Structure 1
Amino acid sequence: MKLVYFASLALSILLFSCQGSKEKPLNVLFIAVDDLRPDIGAYGNTLIKTPHLDRLAATGTIFESHYVQVPTCGASRCSIMTGLLPRQAGHLKNSAFEEFISDRPEALVPESLVHHFRRNGYRTVGIGKISHSVDGLLYGYKESPEGAKKEMPHSWDEFLFDADKWGTGWNAFFGYADGSNRQQLEGKVYPYEMADVEDRGYPDGITADLASEKLRELANGDAPFFLGVGFFKPHLPFTAPKKYWDLYSRDQIPLAAFKELPENVHLSSLQRMGEFNQYLLGDEKATLEKSLSDEYAQKLIHAYYASVSYVDAQIGKVLDELERLGLAKNTLVVVWGDHGWHLGEHRVWGKHTNFDIALRSPLIIRNPLAQPGRIGRETVVSSIDVYPTLADLCGLPVDFPLDGQSLVQLISTGMDSERENRAFSYFNKGISMRTDRYRITKYFREEQPSIELYDHLEDPHESINIALQRPELVEELTAKWQAGDTGLYVPQ
């Protein structure tokens, strides 16, 4: 442990001495949003109301083709925090932090990108859901957090969350405006709620206020800071104050562009909506055998949109405070969605598939020292690229292996000829590769077909698997796909 400490101290001294004329290293504000698909104005949705995210995107770099490594919360967050592709079955679970990071002694390789910043002289503060646990502690949904272990024990100087009337972090995560929660009511709740309350009537409003308060404190500190803020919505239940529901006329909200089962695909490539159907008072049960009624689907999408607008307003409060304090000119801002979400596409309501709709999410990076930019759909990037990007932008040396590739060249010039234009994702016994035009997924299973191929130029909704019709293309893409085969599905 002493060796690690002194190595870290020496590295920090070197960092600050090398920054020479800089008044202060860049700060980092990292904002994680749960279950946010790229349905915001900056990504082309002209109906949804997201003015604050759109404003950020207009002053930063927006990545139109950003893909996560795992379409489930904890595993996706573990991947971005470590900068690594999944290599074991446990890396695909919400318990990934518990299995691979929590309760382990500090090592030479940092446990997370936050830990790396902390070792390099940054004050690190977390608020809300950054890893999987909503308050950075390991305990069950119905348990008390008292005495719980830290999820990332060496990463944070300070971790905060205000559970308010809900009592615990998990109660707040699944909470309703009256202070109740899903687990307390044994699932006898609706998957949505419209309450006539102020923003603090739901947890994200409290988190935004807490983050703003912490920014005021950090502004007076001598050290650069890494502030992580994790917002809950639009994760289920889709709950938001009434004023955000009122932004929309339900009859104008579009349904999924493709709401049928994809052709030439086994049902095991999809999912059975176990998470969604836990909300026992839902108007209808979601199944793969039949789509939800248009009326109920439209209500749910309305609820999702309201939740997105609500969290957009909370992000806006934090960004406004950053600006008011004069910190914006020296702070990197990252907004990242931990994965996408099917809103009826392929009859699915939820994440947990290897389809584009579950794997694509927003990524916006605002570098105050760079011009705004837009990286189009032809350039594919991954969540694992965030770690090396932030280290690169802040001048932190990385002398340990990462699977991601820095995005700095793209942010600076809009192009990177050295970049491997592909993203790998893992779930459901499958490994999926996205290129600028194609998605190929190979499943390690008995059910057939075990290979799926989609041409996004001809079929942007992934409605027809063309693998059998294009064997030569499957062979060509498989040669590139092999780089993402980390041995995950080799028997251990």
Structure 2
Amino acid sequence: MKSLLAASFALVAATALAAPPKFNVLHIVSDDLNTSLGCYGHAQVKSPHIDKLAATGVRFEKAYCQYPLCNPSRASFMTGMRPGSTKVYENSTHFRKALPDVLSIPQTFSKAGAFAARVGKLYHYGVPTQIGTSGLDDEPSWQQVVNPIGHDKKVEDQIHTLTPGQFGGTLSWFNDPSEEPQTDAIGAAEAIKLLEAKKDGPFYLAVGFYRPHTPYVAPAKYFEGYPIDKIQLATGPMKDAPGMPTAAYASYKKEQDQLTDPMRKEILQAYFASTTFMDDQVGQVVAAVERLGLREKTVIVFHSDHGYHLGDHGLWQKQSIWENSARVPLIISVPGNANNGKSCPRPVELIDVHATLADVCGLPLPQSDGVSLKPLLDNPQAAWDKPAFTQTLRGAPQGTTAPSFDPKNLEKGKKAQGKGKGKGKAGAFFGLSVRTEQFRYTEWDEGRQGATLFDLQNDPQESKDLSKDPAHAETVAKMKAMLAGLKK
């Protein structure tokens, strides 16, 4: 990593020959946030600051992560490379192992002479255990880093959890009566300090908020906005619905068997409260951009790392490729864009963020697996035939402390299958999903362990599988061909 860091500084030193970026960039990332936001039509969640940002930018209605887990997703969108390129499928492998020379978003801006810094979680580290550390960071990406740590780390002995002693990988929540600043509030304050110090630009400032990632901890006043008797539980098909592939529900956790409806409402209340708390911090940072006279000089992008279930399909967290786990909020606000305030219905991917930021800031497009979304910023209704892909692994390590996964084991497993030996020694297989404007088609283990097709335009709850319907055979064939070309 030291040699990479030296190479990064050499890159910055050579920027005198490069044209500076046209705009500064403020890149805000939330953790484990789905589209439960006012600007995405949620009936209960209060998110006035993100809603205001959406009103001054282009809101992408159908944006998708490439892998519904923190490390693979963040390695992917911070480089613009698919998991099949980064070879990151769990929370332990660093993308530099497979791509030692790839440019990250901040490096693209550093190369053009911008100051690049992060506050909080941009690359992966475990929440809450690694709060206050750099976790699995990428040192060559940054000229300055800030790792905030707040009161939420002090109250872990008071947190309600389904698994005693665990707070990050399981459902856990706490209504905090203290007025001491929590980690995200400290992170917002530190981001504002950097904005003030670097207001003359150019800069790329990435701010990673921790909420609403479990444990859902927020100050008590945010819980007050969500009375328990007003909380609505998920409806629609639930876990192990007839005819659905077993692998589609493999992210279910056994401890969730103990949930009751009152507990489910408490959890939703805490998640929503954490979301509104995070929204307030977004508002603080964006207000500082405006106060400092930087709004017309700064591109602001907001998104999450992946979606989250909250009870739909009987699931509660991530690591599935149902719509709520794969879909993310994405808002891009470019100064002077005549389409700010509009929404875009085209399917897009988080790997597109790298090329998009370079493009709108007048920088050379990076080598990546994504494309620039500038055509959609220029015309949100423009013709667009690019689908969005999301993938996940079954039978491979996933957690923060899990060992690195060797993707070569997938090939061993396929060879064993071909010889009639089941899933082979690897015991691992991909779930691959492709989303067009109307449909989502998913295959598990190349279809050997099930496939589904949903018409999300007419069936948003993914309740009716059309994959075996002769009337949709042509659609299945087309989407199957799309998956066949995906780099795994």
TM-score by length of 1: 0.82
Indicate conservation of the 8 Å contact 1:48/1:309, yes or no: yes
Q: Is 2:110 aligned against 1:118? A: yes
- How many angstroms apart in 2 are the aligned matches of 1:31 and 1:161? 15
The count of aligned residue pairs is: 442
Q: How does 1:356-435 map to 2 (within 5 A)?
A: 356-371=323-338, 372-377=340-345, 379-398=346-365, 400-417=366-383, 419-428=384-393, 429-435=430-436
Alpha-carbon deviations, 1:267-293, whole Å to 9, x = none?
22113444xx7xxxxxxx314xxx943
Shift of 1:9: 5.1
The corresponding residue for 2:122 is: 130
Q: How does 1:326-337 map to 2 (within 5 A)?
A: 326-337=293-304
Q: Is 2:198 aligned against 1:194? A: no
Q: Is 2:250 aligned against 1:249? A: no
2:54 aligns with one of 57, 63, 70: 57
2:476 aligns with one of 471, 474, 481: 474
Indicate conservation of the 8 Å contact 2:8/2:141, yes or no: no
Q: Flag the 1:402–1:142 CA change in 2: closer, same or farther, 3 A.
A: closer
Shift of 1:102: 7.0
* Partner-residue secondary structure (3-state), 1:362: strand
Q: Is 2:73 aligned against 1:76? A: yes
Q: Flag the 1:390–1:451 CA change in 2: closer, same or farther, 3 A.
A: same
Q: Is 2:427 aligned against 1:457? A: no
Indicate conservation of the 8 Å contact 1:259/1:344, yes or no: no
Letter in 1 for 2:196: R
- Return 5+ residue gaps in structure 1 as ranges: 20-24, 167-171, 278-284
Q: Flag the 1:264–1:190 CA change in 2: closer, same or farther, 3 A.
A: closer
Q: Flag the 1:144–1:421 CA change in 2: closer, same or farther, 3 A.
A: closer
Q: Flag the 1:229–1:347 CA change in 2: closer, same or farther, 3 A.
A: same
Percent identity of paired positions between Structure 1 and Structure 2: 32
Q: Is 2:25 aligned against 1:28? A: yes
Alpha-carbon deviations, 1:404-442, whole Å to 9, x = none?
11111111222333x333101110321100001110111
* Partner-residue secondary structure (3-state), 2:84: coil
Q: Flag the 1:177–1:326 CA change in 2: closer, same or farther, 3 A.
A: farther
Letter in 1 for 2:79: T
Letter in 2 for 1:246: E
Indicate conservation of the 8 Å contact 1:82/1:387, yes or no: yes
Shift of 1:153: 2.0
2:212 aligns with one of 227, 234, 255: 234
Deviates more, 1:385-394 or 1:436-445: 436-445
Indicate conservation of the 8 Å contact 2:24/2:203, yes or no: yes
Letter in 2 for 1:126: R
- How many angstroms apart in 2 are the aligned matches of 1:331 and 1:231? 19
2:264 aligns with one of 297, 304, 322: 297
Q: How does 1:147-158 map to 2 (within 5 A)?
A: 151-158=137-144
Shift of 1:463: 1.7
Q: Flag the 1:84–1:299 CA change in 2: closer, same or farther, 3 A.
A: same
- How many angstroms apart in 1 are the aligned matches of 2:237 and 2:191? 39
Q: Is 2:202 aligned against 1:224? A: yes
Letter in 2 for 1:477: M
Letter in 1 for 2:184: D
* Partner-residue secondary structure (3-state), 1:453: strand
Deviates more, 1:49-58 or 1:455-464: 455-464
Indicate conservation of the 8 Å contact 1:271/1:348, yes or no: no
TM-score by length of 2: 0.82
The corresponding residue for 1:15 is: 19
- How many angstroms apart in 2 are the aligned matches of 1:118 and 1:101? 18
1:355 aligns with one of 322, 326, 331: 322
Letter in 1 for 2:343: I
Letter in 2 for 1:101: R
Alpha-carbon deviations, 1:346-393, whole Å to 9, x = none?
11111000110100010011111213143343x111101100000001
Indicate conservation of the 8 Å contact 1:122/1:226, yes or no: yes
Indicate conservation of the 8 Å contact 2:151/2:181, yes or no: no
Q: How does 1:436-451 map to 2 (within 5 A)?
A: 436-444=437-445, 448=449, 450-451=450-451
Letter in 1 for 2:181: G
- How many angstroms apart in 1 are the aligned matches of 2:155 and 2:8? 44
Shift of 1:4: 8.1
Shift of 1:7: 6.9
Letter in 2 for 1:423: A
* Partner-residue secondary structure (3-state), 1:212: helix
Q: Flag the 1:259–1:233 CA change in 2: closer, same or farther, 3 A.
A: farther
The corresponding residue for 1:42 is: 39
Shift of 1:88: 6.1
Indicate conservation of the 8 Å contact 1:33/1:232, yes or no: yes
Alpha-carbon deviations, 1:229-286, whole Å to 9, x = none?
1001110011111100001222222211325134411222113444xx7xxxxxxx31
Shift of 1:66: 0.5
The corresponding residue for 1:169 is: none
Q: Flag the 1:103–1:215 CA change in 2: closer, same or farther, 3 A.
A: farther
* Partner-residue secondary structure (3-state), 1:349: coil
Alpha-carbon deviations, 1:76-120, whole Å to 9, x = none?
111101111121694221224x2x227986x4x42x111111111
- How many angstroms apart in 1 are the aligned matches of 2:468 and 2:32? 33
Shift of 1:478: 1.5
Shift of 1:309: 0.5
The corresponding residue for 2:249 is: 270
* Partner-residue secondary structure (3-state), 2:109: helix
* Partner-residue secondary structure (3-state), 2:45: coil
The corresponding residue for 1:280 is: none
Alpha-carbon deviations, 1:428-475, whole Å to 9, x = none?
321100001110111117863x21111112311112322122433311
- How many angstroms apart in 2 are the aligned matches of 1:309 and 1:197? 17
Indicate conservation of the 8 Å contact 1:103/1:149, yes or no: no
